[in-house]
Amino acid sequence: MKIEEAKRLSKLPTYVFAVLDKLKAEERAKGKELIDLTIGSPSHLPPKEVIDAHIQALSDPASHKYSSFEGDPAFTEAVCQWCKRQYGIHVHKDEVVTLVGSKEGLAHFYLAYLDPGDTLLVPLPMYPSHFRGPVLAGAEPVILPTVEKNGFLPELDIVDKSIADKAKIISLSYPTNPTAATAPPEFFEKAVHFAKKHNLILVHDFAYAELYFEGKKPVSCLSVPGAKDVCIEFHSLSKTFGMAGWRLGFAVGNKQLVNALKTIKTNLDYGPFAATVKAGVTALKMKNGYFENMRKAYQKKRDIAVDGLTSLGWKLKKPLATFYLWVPVPSGFNAMTFVEHLIHKADVAVSPGIGFGDLGEGYVRIALVDSDERIRDAIARMKKAGIRYNG
Ligand SMILES: *Cc1c(COP(=O)(O)O)cnc(C)c1O
């Protein structure tokens, strides 16, 4: 066929994860049974209360109609209560937009605020939607490099003034996927100040808000006084409640920013399935015990994996949030060749760091969402294959 795709598609960087999928499929076709630690998709069931609420909502004819653009008032109210209870932040009901997962919300937010030729500031390594979404909108991401030595925080003080003034948005996400980095409250204060000084929108992706360890609870960017003048924060039920396939999230913050996202969405979708939203209300009202158990379970996986990799020569700090490990590759490998080596020799699949931007070269991301036994088994397979970190 001679019809060309829109240019915006050709501008997207190669999707490393598609290459990875092919690699996994080839190995499986050879009859290999892989331990797949590539994707950050929780394997625990959502709380029983949430599943029951969903089943109950299925029998209500209202659930099967088009949802209203304004969203379910019960969910909006539950979001306001949740934000107060979990992060001590006050959001009004017209400062909330319900999303078909936060990935959808992020991509559409960038479409709402970025024209072709616009720029935005994005720290790398970062969750791909923060550079691929803007590219789809025709905009150009300006990379703020982050490195381990600085805790994977961008150095805002050294960003060129003309670059910061020209940009429209700065996108942040702490705790971070893929590096598992966290940011102290002072960093968010600095970021809000920076955004105001350069007239930038501050996007904060808070997908791992509840996935923290050792009592080190991450702060919401909106907890900085005055943040609501410039900030929109994206939340997801996927990781917190094991609901990744359900597609439910929300964004809160500056009303004008929320409204622009609503306007875009009005033209593209009707929001999530109403029964899912009803179950989401139940999720946001879960008692603290649920979250504590969930964190304990992930902390155990973290400890098994870090201790295991330490026994193979790696020197890793235990991350204080997320269910990822950001692991340097042994010398003689790059990210992709180490991924291939692991798959071929140990039947273990992990993600190449370059999928999260060029600065992810030299690292792989290991997602710790499978059972404790499988994680132990992955380490045992690596050991058996003679894989070690040699500096
Ligand atoms: C998983 C993830 C998302 C997407 O979550 P959904 O709500 O399922 O779309 C967004 N941001 C980060 C950093 C993530 O890891």
Residue 297: give its domain's CATH number: 3.90.1150.10
Spacing, Cα 207 to ligand 1 middle (Å):
6
Residue 389 covered by a domain: no
Strand 324-328: give its sheet, edge to edge.
324-328, 363-367, 351-352
Looking at residue 14, its pLDDT comes to 79
Residue 12 covered by a domain: yes
The verdict on the CB of residue 207 being under 6 Å from ligand 1 is yes
Same structural domain, 58 and 186: yes
Distance between CA atoms of residues 389 and 313, nearest Å: 5
Same structural domain, 216 and 336: no
Same structural domain, 181 and 322: no
pLDDT band at 2; cut points 50, 70, 90: confident
Looking at residue 18, its pLDDT comes to 87
Same structural domain, 134 and 179: yes
Spacing, Cα 289 to ligand 1 middle (Å):
23
Write out pLDDT tens, residues 83-107.
Answer: 999 999 999 999 999 999 999 999 9
Write out pLDDT tens, residues 331-371.
Answer: 999 999 999 999 999 999 999 999 998 899 999 999 999 99
Same structural domain, 149 and 59: yes
The verdict on the CB of residue 249 being under 6 Å from ligand 1 is yes
Task: Tell me which residue range forms the domain holding 123.
Answer: 48-284
369 in helix, strand or coil? coil
- Domains: count for the chain: 2
Write out pLDDT tens, residues 259-268.
Answer: 999 999 999 9
Same structural domain, 255 and 304: no
Write out pLDDT tens, residues 225-263.
Answer: 999 999 999 999 999 999 999 999 999 999 999 999 999
The verdict on the CB of residue 357 being under 6 Å from ligand 1 is no
pLDDT band at 16; cut points 50, 70, 90: confident
Q: Is 90 exceeded by the pLDDT of residue 43? A: no
Same structural domain, 95 and 204: yes
Looking at residue 13, its pLDDT comes to 83
Same structural domain, 239 and 125: yes
Q: Is 80 exceeded by the pLDDT of residue 391? A: no
DSSP conformation class of 229: G
Spacing, Cα 127 to ligand 1 middle (Å):
8
The verdict on the CB of residue 103 being under 6 Å from ligand 1 is yes
Distance between CA atoms of residues 50 and 361, nearest Å: 40
Q: Is 90 exceeded by the pLDDT of residue 15? A: no
The verdict on the CB of residue 173 being under 6 Å from ligand 1 is yes
Same structural domain, 74 and 54: yes
| Both structure tokens of 4 | 């060309």
The verdict on the CB of residue 236 being under 6 Å from ligand 1 is yes
The verdict on the CB of residue 205 being under 6 Å from ligand 1 is yes
CATH number at residue 174: 3.40.640.10
Spacing, Cα 61 to ligand 1 middle (Å):
30
Give the percent of the chain with pLDDT over 70.
100
**Which of 258, 284, 310 is the last residue in one of the domains?**
284
The verdict on the CB of residue 238 being under 6 Å from ligand 1 is yes
Ligand 1 atom closest to Cα of residue 205: 11
The verdict on the CB of residue 40 being under 6 Å from ligand 1 is yes
Spacing, Cα 239 to ligand 1 middle (Å):
8
Spacing, Cα 103 to ligand 1 middle (Å):
6
Residue 391 covered by a domain: no
Same structural domain, 226 and 318: no
| Both structure tokens of 359 | 């600065």
Residue 390 covered by a domain: no
| Both structure tokens of 98 | 């319900």
List for the chain the helix, strand, coil content (%; round to 5): 50, 15, 40
